[in-house]
Structure 1
Amino acid sequence: MISEKTLQHPVLVLITFILLGVVGIFTIRKTAISLMPDVDMPYLMVSASYTNAGPETVEKAVTTLIENSLSSLSGLKNITSTSREERCTVSLEFNYGTDLDIATNDVRDKLDRVRRALPDNVTPTIFKMDSNSMPIMRIAIRGNRSADDLKQIAEDDVVDVLEQADGVGEASVMGGRSKIVRVELEQNRLKAYDLTLSQVSSALSKENLELGGGTITEGKTDYSIRTTGEYSSIEEINDTVIKHLTGYDVKLSDIGKAYMGYDDQKSIVYINGQEGVYISITKQSGENSVTVANNVYQKMEQLKTILPGDVSLEIIRDDTVSIRDTINTLLDSAWQGLLLAVIILYIFLCSFKTTIIIAISIPLSIMITLLAMNFAGITLNMMTLTGLILGVGMIVDASVVIIDNIYSYRSRGTKAKVAAVLGSSEMIMSVTSGNLTTICVFIPFLFYLKDLGWMGQMFKGIIFTVVIALVSSLFVAVFLVPVLAGHFLPLTNRNEKPIKSEFFKNLYAFFGRCQDKIQNVYGKALMAALNNRLATIFVCATALIASLLLIPTMRISMMTGGHDDSVTVQMSLPIGTTLSETEAVVSQFQEIIEKEIKGYKTLITSIGSGGRNGSSYSGSIQISLPPSNEQIDNDETIQKKLRAHFADFADVTFSFGRGFRRQMTGADLDIVLRSASLDDALAVANKVSAVMEEIADIGEPTIDTTEGLPQVEISIDRQRAYNFGVDVRTVANEINYSIEGVNATTFRKDGDEYSVYVMLRPEDRQKVIDLEQIYVQG
């Protein structure tokens, strides 16, 4: 018998469980902690860039070809695409359970076949969608300096150090402008000297070179040859000869000026109402958020010794705080439940030794469960901890059944060791079958995990945790409990060792009377049920039928109620609105937030989307909130207060960004419009959106397709262009360089690199009529 063999080697059994417990304790420190389980998202994205192409051109020349080539992929569920200025993205959704590595190879093969049909220099890139790719932390850089200077410090001194932290995938700087060498040319001077921006850019590029020239041998020594012709100062750039005229060298300073400046402002960031700069930290795929955050904290301490005295770092948003709070709350619930379970057991068993044995078996089972979870790569998150809390009540069952049967034998006078053998042997099959029955309940879920999709991914952690906890509790009950009850903590009966303390006599007598009352009430209820069998069956059947009928009335949702720790308000003005006008509107709405919203931590205002081709007509305000128990206005209250002011801003479209719960569950309702005409589809979408806005229970509907910018089309007279010896590409490039500027070369100074942008003066590129003054040379 297992129990008899176990009791023959009690020390070995005890040491084995002690080792498992110690390893489990050390494992807790290294167990990965996250808010939600790691979900394998069955998504791939294909992205491609097509320089200087509009959305419609991108769709016809790139997007349609890629979509058609990928539509026959195995396991593909949905395919969607977005075409925008110079870029397209094609999103692929596969069935859950699809091997993304194989799917990626299939996508790559399909793209290779269509690559020849794509325009030149268009190379599609494949990305895997990662649910953990969102920023986990935002760090503001504070100092009595301009936002542009703070951005320079962040890029030069901070970013590289933070990216050295283990687990950090990227540290990106938001806010401020990048430092560049601005070469601003005067349109009338260019025309006077018969020059174009392309010629100026080419001249600067040719004069700023450092090239190797091979090696030369003189005597016994080899010398490497290198031509050093890079600019060493801004003055050298201004003195660059652009063109030679009869008896005169036209220098850059004759047609404009070069100076250290900043890129044209495309976006603005405000932190609590002041223009600022922050660094967004994104962790690597598969890394644990809390561990990465701890590594970043260490790097921030290291940066204190590197940064100037008047510059400091401040964490303005840390998503791991909510993770830690949630996990700590669940841990508190776990140990409180454990304590209550032990107290209840003591009340009913009325024995210190039996209670101590059970008190040992519960945490030991949990330690073994955590150890198994660590080996299986399961993180400690909200779902697995919920499973662990559920398992605490189940864990104790097997040990209680066995210890109660052992105590029953001891009460009849059987010796402790014999009672442990007999009591555990009788109950082994019972507790094993009971635990296996519970485990079998979860087996169907394992077969249908793929069909359950996202929910299957989420609940997989609970299933595995409960199963592991039940198996470990059975392991403890069968092997450890008999050893403790029969050898190390031998149970006694009241005849062999009567209670001497009056306090415990009275306490146990009180517990006994309470149990007797419970038994009497149960006995009377049982007799009443047996004496009225038909009525009992009728009541039970009625309750069953009523519960089934109430199922359709239940409120079903993907996530339970709760509150997010941030609210993001997104604003879109009419397309083409200038950055300054957008800033004025967003700042006005920010003032409303500051006056009406109570108890927020941080306001991060972003205006414009950034980049050289960024949009200037959109903005957002992120309101960071304290933990739920400290919030004055929660996310729902804030949304209600802000909605009341939406009507005060004409021609502004408002929406709320997705909080944590909406990110996990998606939109409540998606309406897809299909049409061969994009204009017709947009018109119908706007009508549907207007109808939905009038429904009180619906929030802010959004349309995922936006109209293009107001456009100035330049039509080329081909015959006149031919007569002047000018082609369309030359004209298009000259216009692009004049308005957007062109990166001519790189200026290096003191170990730093600065892009040299050649552009027209701001006053020469502000109006549509300025396009007619752009000089093109054949």
Structure 2
Amino acid sequence: MTFVEKFVKKPVTTLLVFIVLVALGLYCTFSLPLDLYPDMDLPYMIVYTQYGNAGPEEVEQSLTRTLEGSLSGVTGLKKLQSRSMTGMSLVIMEFNYGTNLDAAANDIRDKIDLVRSYLPTDAKTPITIRMDPSMMPIMMLTVKGPRTPEEIRTLSEDTLKPRLEQLDGVASINVVGGRERSINVDIPRDRLEAYGLSVSTIAQMIGAQNVQSSGGSIESDEINYSIKTNGKYTSLEDLKNTVISYKTTASDGSSAPSVVKLRLRDIADVYEGYKNQSTLAFLDSEPSVMLMVTKQSGKNSVAAAKKVRKAVEKLNKEIPSDLSIVETYNTTDIIEQTVHEVVKSVIIGALLAIIILFVFLRSFKTTFIIGLSIPISVFITLMLMYFKGISINMISMGGLLLGIGMLVDNSIVVLENIFAYRQTDAKPTVSAILGSQEMVSSITSSTLTSVCIFLPMVMFQKQLGMMGQMFNNLAFTIIFSLLCSLFVAVALVPVLCSTYLPLDKMSEKEHKGLSYGINRAFDRFFINLGNAYGRGVKWVLHHRKLFIFSLLGLLIFSFVSIKWIGFVFMPEESENTISLDVTLPKGSTLDATSEVVAEMQQKCWGVLKGVKYTSTTVGGSSFLSSSATTNEATIRFTFYEAKERKPGWDNDKSAKKKVQEFFNDFPGTQVKFSQNMNSVGSGGTVIEIRCDDLNLLRQTATDVQKALETYGSDFITSVTSDLEDGLPQAEIVVDRDRMYELGLNVYSVGSEISAAINGTTASRYTKNGNDIDVVVKLAEKDRKKLKDLDSIFVMNSFGSRIPLSSFAHVEQTTSPVTIYRQNQSRIIKVTAKTVSGVSLDIIQSKINKIINDNIPKDDAVSITISGDFADMMEAVVKFGAIIIMAAILVFVVMASQFESLVDPFIVLFTIPLSFIGVIAIYAITGTKLNVITIMGVLVLVGTIVNNGIVLVDYTNLLRKRGYALEEACIQAASNRLRPILMSTLTTVISLAPMAFFPGEGNTSMQPISLTVFGGMTFGSLMTLFLMPTIYFIVNSKRMKKAEKKAAKKALKERKKLEERGFTQEDIDHMEGYSENIVARTAASKDVFEAAKLEKTEKSENPAPVKAFVSPIAETSDEAKDEKEEKKKGKKKKDKKSSEKSKEGKKEKKNKKDKKHKKDKNKD
């Protein structure tokens, strides 16, 4: 019992199996996580080291270089970068994709341990951090109301933050805006001098008094007691009453000396206040507080955001009525919107494919059976995605969309063959078994042809880097969908056909009416189209040189025209927000930055329409920076969604054009568009400048930046660089010899100055369950001017107070903020953001020219250009290799199917032709070629060859049946026109929604759909004419070669006969006799073949062996006409053979008579 027969003989079991699979698919669909892109592992590790108050150059020399030298030997390392800042070193390590980062982390720790003893003693232990996309916030909530920012922050920290951090999926809540609460201990300098104390000493005493420690355990009366010493402050009075020192008063002779306790309240002002402000937050220019929500690693963003939204709804009801929590930014909105648009495109594409099926088949039952394969295959695919761990994202849904048009092909092939059996009046069950069993091998081969296209990408995912990780989901989704369609075609379709596909017979009444008229009109249309196409193929065969050279010229023109279409790295994503990064000169205060941002915001409001929210943050810091960045700010404009947007309101693209005009209105201020959190788009063009001389490096970077700003304004929107203005600095120059004499060291001096000016956190005070920092510092009046530094006292190793002025002096300088290095050499990167739509190759050549014309060459300086163009070229090379490997695999599958090494090459001619359609569709739509286009080409290679396979395979079949070469080419083309049109249209039309109406956020997938649409449309059309032509040319040469070989053989035989003494007349007589025998043998063979064909006509399937692009069941009338034509052809052949036989006999008789006359004459 065959595989198919098992399913057909057990229809109930088969149906139940598919019902269970669909039910599992439905369950898995609602269980699949939702995300914008697939989960990607970023191959980055960071080594973070703190180094007191050391300057950038000291950090670089004594810390960063030592770490770089050791870490450069870590296995799998691709690039080593570092940043040396005041008091901090960051070493950023980029690994090759596919590197085991857990093993790499262990290797990093081992390398650090090797050089730990060589690091400065003041430096803390290096910390290894693994980069994770989940470190970026997924939501931004704003708390607003008529209260001070400090009051709102207190509410946020005490109530909102704890409640939100309890939610599953939420990792942390970062509070921005307002001032953080603290217990401030302000000490006037004169009191420190009076009591001989220092800020550091007082901070140490506070920390020593506010502790809780364990004292072990003790057993008493058979009970084990744990011992705890609780010395934590319970009130602010406890802190004020802390004894700082003891003094003994002199005895008056009559009494013992008394001990005087010096308490904190005696020398300092202790109060509950706020820390120095480092950040400001505004919502629509009103002071507010923002909550940045970060999700847990491995958790789904959409699920976490939904839980936060529900929690915010409850919190809005619980907090004071004059306050409200507003969701001002949510990265998951675009995720849901994007995936919704892709799913909508999938559904519309499926419906359009079914409509195309019905137009061609004009049978509800047939259309239902084939159309049913789409949702069933989709749900089984979703189930396989669930078990493979693939989320519902833009890439995976794009793969499903690309597979929609191909899901029906296998089912059509099987159904058409079953229908052919039904037309011979075979029983339904027998027809289902035989019709599908005959097609199993061919549709399996065809499916493998498409599947093998994606195998190289799956196998070489690591080599493709981030693009490989992204499109791995697409490859698996298409593979799953094609395998599912194969399973449905060989298991479910035969069962449905055995039950629901009776042979329709049209009654007399049905020969009238609208339905009949429509059917006849379609039949007439397809017949006329087929006849016209046949005449077109015949004309092309007779003018094949003109046709081929025309196509070749068109192909060359298409490749030449690429330079006019242009390149971009990634399509520009649409989102409902734009963000501006604003940077003022270093040293700018928080208030100064806030004023510039407010002015800029007002200008933007004057031109923008449809702004929903404007959220602004000024200042801030992160673990990647060594101090608060008071000179930086971010303005984010949030617009209404497309469905809420009124006519004339701006979206992100129109808003960028308007806002960009104000970039140069603020001298000394850098303004640029920041990349959205969800975006994987353009990073711009990067000019890398390397030089060991820091001054020369900075000067060259400045010259490059100025040259680009001056001469590149027509194609560059903004130019930024790692080069930062020198930070205004009061440098304390220490006299080391004098310092050593006084019993001091640099670390203790730096720590005391930092504590006095910035304050030092002595301990934490707990109030109502919340920990508040206790900050000890000099009183504000004693730390306002540079001259106040001279009056700071430092405690030496003997307990004496030494003024700073006795061993150091203050100099006003500027210092480098950050020193950048790459692969162990100093580097500065200048980044140019370019005008949207300008081709990358043009940008690259213009930047090269600007640098060559304006930057003097210096052997000590190295300038290289990287960025989008270099990344795209790298992707082209990698994906080009993948496409070549895929084409080789397709060739192997076709060669195995045809058992020929020539026929696959005929089919492969369709691939370059399809590129004409790709270039044309990009030119028509005005879309730039990009990296995603390459992925579309890979998909196209797997689909375009199927039409050629159909034609070549069916032409071979007709040739075996005795058709002449030209007749076989024309007849095969005419017979397969409808199947090719149907398969092409189901694929192309299903892609139209995504190709031309992608919706906001879906532009990343549009190039794939556009590429396949253009390539399939033009490639399939040209395949209908090119394949017969190439087949005719190749096989004509084969026949000529065979004839030449036969002629050579005949000539050799003739020479041998002449050598044996035969005369020319004898040889001619023997050749005539041989030809007669051959003719009679051929005639007999033709009669035998005709009889055999007529006998097997009812059971023989005219479909091609390889039928991935579906042959369609012809109508009963057409089938009869075809049979009649074949019978007439056989009769003609029989008559022709008989005539040849008679002519042979007559010729023989004439030759005998001539010979007889010659003999008579001789006599």
* Shared fold, TM over 0.5: yes
Residue 210 of structure 1: how far off its partner (Å): 4.2
| Alpha-carbon separation, structure 1, partners of 2:213 and 2:546 | 100
- Between stretches 215-224 and 601-610, larger displacement belongs to 215-224
Q: Structure 2 vs 1, CA of residues 497 and 23 (structure 1 numbering), >3 Å: closer, same or farther?
A: farther
Structure 2, unaligned stretches of length 5 or more? 250-259, 801-1163
| Alpha-carbon separation, structure 1, partners of 2:285 and 2:454 | 53
- Between stretches 513-522 and 390-399, larger displacement belongs to 513-522
Match 2:232 to one of 222, 230, 233: 230
Match 1:187 to one of 164, 174, 189: 189
Q: Structure 2 vs 1, CA of residues 748 and 516 (structure 1 numbering), >3 Å: closer, same or farther?
A: same
Q: Is 1:619 the equivalent of 2:633?
A: yes
Residue 229 of structure 1: how far off its partner (Å): 4.0
Aligned length: 776
Q: Is 1:642 the equivalent of 2:659?
A: yes
Q: Which residue of 1 aligns with 2:1150?
A: none
Offset from partner CA, 1:323-361 (integer Å, 9 cap, x none): 111111111111111111111111111111111111211
| Alpha-carbon separation, structure 2, partners of 1:63 and 1:70 | 10
Q: What secondary structure does 1:593 align onto? A: helix
| Alpha-carbon separation, structure 1, partners of 2:686 and 2:19 | 55
Q: Which residue of 2 aligns with 1:675?
A: 691
> TM-score normalised to the size of structure 2?
0.64
Offset from partner CA, 1:453-482 (integer Å, 9 cap, x none): 222222222111111111100000011000
Paired residues of 2:395 and 2:471 also in contact (CA < 8 A): yes
Residue 207 of structure 1: how far off its partner (Å): 3.5
Offset from partner CA, 1:518-563 (integer Å, 9 cap, x none): 3343233233323433332233333333334334554233322442
Q: Structure 2 vs 1, CA of residues 482 and 227 (structure 1 numbering), >3 Å: closer, same or farther?
A: closer
| Alpha-carbon separation, structure 2, partners of 1:160 and 1:733 | 34
| Alpha-carbon separation, structure 2, partners of 1:465 and 1:569 | 37
Q: Structure 2 vs 1, CA of residues 530 and 207 (structure 1 numbering), >3 Å: closer, same or farther?
A: closer
| Alpha-carbon separation, structure 2, partners of 1:719 and 1:5 | 97
Q: What secondary structure does 2:718 align onto? A: coil
Paired residues of 2:176 and 2:279 also in contact (CA < 8 A): no
| Alpha-carbon separation, structure 2, partners of 1:119 and 1:492 | 90
The one-letter amino acid of 2:79's match is N
| Alpha-carbon separation, structure 1, partners of 2:369 and 2:223 | 84
Paired residues of 2:569 and 2:682 also in contact (CA < 8 A): no
Q: Which residue of 2 aligns with 1:359?
A: 371
Mapping of residues 346-745 of structure 1, within 5 Å: 346-487=358-499, 489-495=500-506, 499=510, 502-610=513-621, 613-627=627-641, 632-659=649-676, 663-694=679-710, 695=712, 696-718=714-736, 720-721=738-739, 724-745=742-763
Q: Structure 2 vs 1, CA of residues 14 and 52 (structure 1 numbering), >3 Å: closer, same or farther?
A: same
Q: What secondary structure does 1:615 align onto? A: coil
Paired residues of 2:366 and 2:501 also in contact (CA < 8 A): no
Q: Structure 2 vs 1, CA of residues 36 and 226 (structure 1 numbering), >3 Å: closer, same or farther?
A: closer
Paired residues of 2:331 and 2:677 also in contact (CA < 8 A): no
Residue 239 of structure 1: how far off its partner (Å): 3.8
Residue 685 of structure 1: how far off its partner (Å): 0.7
Mapping of residues 243-254 of structure 1, within 5 Å: 243-245=245-247, 249-254=261-266
Paired residues of 1:31 and 1:380 also in contact (CA < 8 A): yes
| Alpha-carbon separation, structure 2, partners of 1:112 and 1:42 | 22
Q: Structure 2 vs 1, CA of residues 109 and 217 (structure 1 numbering), >3 Å: closer, same or farther?
A: closer
Residue 771 of structure 1: how far off its partner (Å): 0.8
Paired residues of 1:353 and 1:491 also in contact (CA < 8 A): no
Q: Which residue of 1 aligns with 2:336?
A: 324
User: Between Structure 1 and Structure 2, whose CA radius of gyration is higher?
Assistant: 2
Q: Structure 2 vs 1, CA of residues 510 and 767 (structure 1 numbering), >3 Å: closer, same or farther?
A: same
The one-letter amino acid of 1:177's match is R
Q: What secondary structure does 1:436 align onto? A: helix
- Between stretches 101-110 and 210-219, larger displacement belongs to 210-219
The one-letter amino acid of 1:504's match is S
Mapping of residues 202-281 of structure 1, within 5 Å: 202-211=204-213, 227-245=229-247, 249-281=261-293
Q: How high is the sequence identity, in percent, across the aligned residues?
A: 37
- Between stretches 1-10 and 699-708, larger displacement belongs to 699-708
| Alpha-carbon separation, structure 1, partners of 2:17 and 2:590 | 69
Residue 261 of structure 1: how far off its partner (Å): 0.5
The one-letter amino acid of 1:680's match is L
Residue 211 of structure 1: how far off its partner (Å): 4.6
Q: What secondary structure does 2:20 align onto? A: helix
Paired residues of 2:571 and 2:681 also in contact (CA < 8 A): no
Residue 697 of structure 1: how far off its partner (Å): 0.4
Q: Which residue of 1 aligns with 2:991?
A: none
Paired residues of 1:348 and 1:515 also in contact (CA < 8 A): no
Offset from partner CA, 1:670-699 (integer Å, 9 cap, x none): 111111122221221111011111202012
Q: Which residue of 1 aligns with 2:3?
A: 2
| Alpha-carbon separation, structure 2, partners of 1:171 and 1:156 | 12
Q: Which residue of 2 aligns with 1:340?
A: 352
| Alpha-carbon separation, structure 2, partners of 1:221 and 1:446 | 65
Q: Structure 2 vs 1, CA of residues 393 and 700 (structure 1 numbering), >3 Å: closer, same or farther?
A: same
| Alpha-carbon separation, structure 2, partners of 1:739 and 1:561 | 47
The one-letter amino acid of 2:652's match is D
Q: Structure 2 vs 1, CA of residues 659 and 304 (structure 1 numbering), >3 Å: closer, same or farther?
A: closer
Q: Which residue of 1 aligns with 2:909?
A: none
The one-letter amino acid of 2:651's match is N
Offset from partner CA, 1:62-119 (integer Å, 9 cap, x none): 2111111111223222111111122211111122222222222222221221222222
Q: What secondary structure does 1:426 align onto? A: helix
Q: What secondary structure does 2:335 align onto? A: helix
Paired residues of 1:36 and 1:382 also in contact (CA < 8 A): yes
Q: Which residue of 1 aligns with 2:900?
A: none
Offset from partner CA, 1:237-260 (integer Å, 9 cap, x none): 334443445656544333331111
The one-letter amino acid of 2:40's match is V
Paired residues of 1:384 and 1:462 also in contact (CA < 8 A): yes
- Between stretches 750-759 and 242-251, larger displacement belongs to 242-251
Q: What secondary structure does 1:605 align onto? A: strand
Q: Structure 2 vs 1, CA of residues 550 and 491 (structure 1 numbering), >3 Å: closer, same or farther?
A: farther
Match 1:156 to one of 155, 158, 167: 158
Residue 650 of structure 1: how far off its partner (Å): 1.9
The one-letter amino acid of 1:555's match is G
| Alpha-carbon separation, structure 1, partners of 2:228 and 2:709 | 68
Paired residues of 2:139 and 2:293 also in contact (CA < 8 A): yes
Paired residues of 2:701 and 2:723 also in contact (CA < 8 A): no
Q: What secondary structure does 1:558 align onto? A: coil
Q: What secondary structure does 2:75 align onto? A: coil
Q: What secondary structure does 1:567 align onto? A: strand
Residue 28 of structure 1: how far off its partner (Å): 0.8
| Alpha-carbon separation, structure 1, partners of 2:425 and 2:507 | 8
Paired residues of 1:189 and 1:255 also in contact (CA < 8 A): yes
| Alpha-carbon separation, structure 2, partners of 1:528 and 1:718 | 98
Judging by fraction of residues, say which structure has more helix.
Answer: 2
Q: Which residue of 2 aligns with 1:289?
A: 301
Offset from partner CA, 1:354-400 (integer Å, 9 cap, x none): 11111211110011111111111112211111111110011111111
| Alpha-carbon separation, structure 1, partners of 2:201 and 2:456 | 72
- Between stretches 73-82 and 201-210, larger displacement belongs to 201-210
Residue 725 of structure 1: how far off its partner (Å): 4.7
Q: Structure 2 vs 1, CA of residues 224 and 381 (structure 1 numbering), >3 Å: closer, same or farther?
A: closer
The one-letter amino acid of 2:632's match is S
Q: Which residue of 2 aligns with 1:174?
A: 176
Match 2:775 to one of 730, 733, 757: 757
Residue 494 of structure 1: how far off its partner (Å): 1.9
Structure 1, unaligned stretches of length 5 or more? none
Mapping of residues 16-31 of structure 1, within 5 Å: 16-31=17-32
> TM-score normalised to the size of structure 1?
0.94
